Structure 1
Amino acid sequence: MSDIQETAVYAEHAVIGSALLGSTRSLLELTDGDFTDGRCRLIATTIRDMLRREEHVDTITVADKLFGRVGPEHIHKLASAVPMADAGGWYAGIVRNATRVRVTAQAHRRALQALSGDEPAEVVDQTHTDTISDLEAVPPLLDVAPDADPPTIADLLDLEFTHDWLVPGLMERRERIVLVAAEGAGKSVWLSQIGIALAGGCHPMTGQRIDGPKRVLLIDAENSLQQTQRRFRWIADRFGDRLTVGWARNVIHHIRPEGLDLPGRDRAWLMKVCAAASPDLIIFTPAYKLMRGNPQLDSDVLALLQVMDEVRVRHNAALLIETHTGHGLDETGRRAVRPYGSSVWLRWPEIGIGLTRHVVNEMVMDDELAVGQWRGMREERAWPSVIQRGRDRQLPWIEAGSEYWGAVRRAPLDIPPDPRVKDD
């Protein structure tokens, strides 16, 4: 046993002793996995259960609960041996640090045992993924500072927050935006337009300059390199000189038409890609090709979203995710505009956008899409309600009905689809 683990055993005794003398907070911050002493683990579980039932905890009541399993003399010994009863937080910190060392060492030992030096690449990749998963199970450090007053809403209201905009009024850092549409509606071009605009320091709907170019990471599990090149070249040409010089170097792309398994074997790859790109915006497309699990199963979809949340928070980036609609119909008999698969998608994002054909007085408006909200926005954002195909040197998709594009909105539109771009 190492010195740190031996010291931790004494700290385990002190944590239990402190709890028996009334200092229970530190015990509640630890888990059963933190205790290597079997009797301490049993006593800790018993005390937590008693606190949950709002029962009084001391040496006598705990000894009564554990009668026949842990002798009362041992329980009294733990209480009497505590150097300082109100130092339970410090003792718990020692225990947790030992747990972190122990779990980390076990993860590395398992990795070394799995690899002898001549394994095929897929075994190495799986061992890498398993080791990362093991290391993520390492519990966090404890806050061993003296007890402070718990945070209140009054404290929260005294704080000053400002929006951390990527696009003022439209998109904030760490926001999760899920774009849903049927096949062929035009969502791929709109996603690319948004990415190019941010990389070139422009507003994605008006082309007006905003506060500096942003770094965009594109993870595309559907389109080929050739399709991506044609689409980006055509859209950039429509922006013209509104884009900042060198905008294309701000878009980092990973084109993987064979599909990905981000919750599984490709998780470590994604972490490495995001670390290298340091993105402000990450575009994922399409959702159904980013996982190998069942898209109808909550647990499988949650595993995918957990990975996305991790890179979102770690890099302070917004997420823009394309997914498809299912084939079910809504109450009007039209194809329902909501993400295909698990209902987890309905609860997860801050913004849920659905694109459908724009209908006015029962007439389908050619070259126009209604921009609906299948999930109510948590805060107001200036996403358009209708978009239409731009013409000539305008952007591929422009906001319909705004003053900025008023003249264009009133003009007849007769723009055939660009033959170089398959708008899926």
Structure 2
Amino acid sequence: MKYQRPKGTADILPDDAKKWNYVEETARMLFEDYRYHEIRTPMFENFDVFSRTSGDTSDVVTKEMYDFDDKGGRHMSLRPEGTAGVVRAFVENKLYGPEHPRPVKVFYMGSMFRYERPQSGRQREFHQIGVEAFGSNEPELDVEVIAMGMDLLKHFGLSDLRLEINTLGDKQSRDAYRQALIDFLEPHFDELSDDSKVRLHKNPLRVLDSKDKRDKEIVKDAPSILDYLNEDSKRHFDRVKSLLDALKIPYVIDPDMVRGLDYYSHTIFEIMVNSKSLGEGYTTICAGGRYNGLVEQLGGPEMPGIGFGLGMERLMLLMDAQDVTFPVLDQLDVYVVGIGEQTSVETLQIVQALRANGFSADRDYLDRKPKAQFKTANRLNAQYTITIGESELESKKANVKQMTSGKEVAVPLADITQDFDDVINKYFNDDEEID
């Protein structure tokens, strides 16, 4: 039997994993600069956590969730997105308490699961980086989250970014718009797709998000949410726009943007990139918005929130397509060459001592001749080689060679194992140290 990975999943091999690690560590450092701290939630949750927050008419709930009954008869689901689990953790662990300064800012990274047709940059198991901030209703926090998303993508070296924003207003504005949309769509009921017929009276805003060609044609003339905003909603959105202007972050208002999940309110946004690697024209790479009311839905107090999510697979495709240079993060400091079987114990002791002192070190494990070992050191771009044979064993010294300059010196074994930094400073360039 031939074993293969499940459809819609991918093996991330060592060379690619180095790139993923770089992206994740870059994100961690940037988020810490903005004072966001990591949170880790379970990979599966009670089904209701996602169905209640995402909306029972969303594609995520109706078509894409991996759900199952466990052995205890509990209805569970693999997480299809990160926000709901973070909100559940926020409520369950009472992070809204007075001992937690507001806003409470967190970020997450991990696998998500959706049963959909696999395609470039879109898998059934995919990886997401996201942030959430709770406890402030101020437009300034909306703009901080947007600015952080833009900042992150620029840190990754991506160019030709486009920020699109919209508002869904508060509940009062949304209810007024919801009715106007129903009134507009009802005369076209028979022309709508089956999915949109179901959504029309449950959540008509989702019809605007339909991918069906007939639906798209119908909603072209639909009323705009911007015409139904009350004064508070207008004031919030105007403040967001003025703050983006103050930070010199260009944006485009897209009144048709509604996002795919039901929990959004007020500011929503998408950061797009123009790259053929994900199709023609601009494609969304990072998206999010405000979700006032979501904490209450999961049993918490009234507590506003805002966040965004970023797909790792799509990001990696874009970085490759734009020829982003990844730094070398696996530098080999020292390769230890042993000449003769009798040196095996000493070479093992040396590499372990070097590793204990913070150096990356390796040696031969295939019983190869010295020439083959030196070739390996060259291929791995080792900065130094340490060579030990019978004569070196007797003299209790080893030959240390700096590969870039070719300079080679005999150094006492005790000096090498005790403080190799000092060896470098003493025998080679005074200003050269290995981090």
| TM-score range relative to shorter protein | under 0.3
Q: Which has the higher strand share?
A: 2
TM-score under structure 1 normalisation?
Answer: 0.22
Q: TM-score, normalised by structure 2?
A: 0.21
